[in-house]
Structure 1
Amino acid sequence: MILQINQVTANGRNQFEILENGQLLFRGSAPFYNPGIPIGGDVFRKLTLTDVMNRSILYTDYNTVENLAASAVPLNWLFKGAKQVCRYSVLNGENQIVGRFYFEQTGIAKTKLVIEWRGRLIACYQKGAGKKEVISFYDGETQIGQLTKPNAVVNNLDCYLLHFLDNSLDREIAAFFTIYYDFLRHNHSGEIVKKGRRTDVEFTFDLYNKFYNKNFIVENFGKEENERVEQFIKDAYKVRKKK
């Protein structure tokens, strides 16, 4: 499974298109709101995923009290073994809870994002790798996917590539997690931009960096696809330079 997620709107609302083989598969949206602000409930934080006809597939519910309690003690992972914040329940079109997203810390420089989906826990390890940012997805001890994002942005419009092994994770939750991740890390809330460009070269240190496999794409999708991903990163920087 290979998906591309393109942000198409960044002023007032963050909207995304999710494509597979060049065909529009889903649409996603996230509020124009800083998720780091402790106040403000679900009305300010609701994320949505719809089909191409804008029919609801998944959406989130944010429990303010639960999240405030979880973040109230900065080092509570020392006592409970894990600190979970930014918890969002995932609901389907029938308003049933079918999963969760959250950020988990289990020690100093030991952090990850987690997807709960269909009785499984998918660990998501983020790493800054120079001109790109990657998330490595693990089901137990097995890597099942990778998210790749160029660290070059024009007009606050982000773009991502998702690669997952066949039948390892449903398309809708993989795409929806990307919307959640963008909302937490790259939503540029409060920034009204007509023309703007930013480029970064980023390296991050975390004890979970060992889960990053730089050869995951070439080993599972082939040399040609790996070259396409590298060109995707290069093209992002070229486009940014022309703006």
Structure 2
Amino acid sequence: MTDVRVKICGLTRPEDVAAAASAGASYGGFVFFAKSPRHVSPEAARALALEAPVGLAKVALVVDADDAFLDEITGRVPLDMLQLHGAETPGRVAEIKARYGLPVMKAVGVGAEADLPKLDLYAGVADQILVDAKPSQDAELPGGNGLAFDWRLIQGRRWAGPWMLAGGLTPDNVGAAIRLTGARQVDVSSGVEARPGVKDAGLIRHFVEAANAAHPVPRLV
């Protein structure tokens, strides 16, 4: 068992799903957002999810999705979690949890100390929170921009439930990010890509190895 749980987001090809699982990732993410280069259709995501081995939790990333679209993807794709990456209110998060019976992770963008209260707000209603870099006002994508934030903003902070660190993580910096923040879960997308939407198996492996090296698994003597 690994000490740090890794999410490889933006999977678009069967070989990328296989690489994530083989490297020891805990989560595989499918992006349902048309503007993203990692966007997949419900049909494509279903095929990918059905090929995912047991042990790789399948996460759907959506942005301000309505019930009709959520009905479609949850009806077609065997999912383990919904990731809300838009401007969903706490009330909307609660509605989605109640309607679909799946764990819900809410992404919260952090760029300054003024953003931190939102983490506490959503931690009280979501099953997990994703602490991500806050995109610029003119950014077309709510995440996956390869941007990091000042990790010192959350140094020593903890919330009621599980949380995941995201935003500009790479095989080169994930160890430092984990050591500074104490994160036990990390999310990566563009940081393990050969080009937008296409993952690199070697980078995935190096990322998972670097994440786990930051928190060595205790030996049982």
TM band (smaller chain): 0.3 to 0.5
Q: TM-score, normalised by structure 2?
A: 0.34
Larger radius of gyration: 1
Q: Which structure has greater strand proportion?
A: 1
- Structure richer in helix, relative to its length: 2
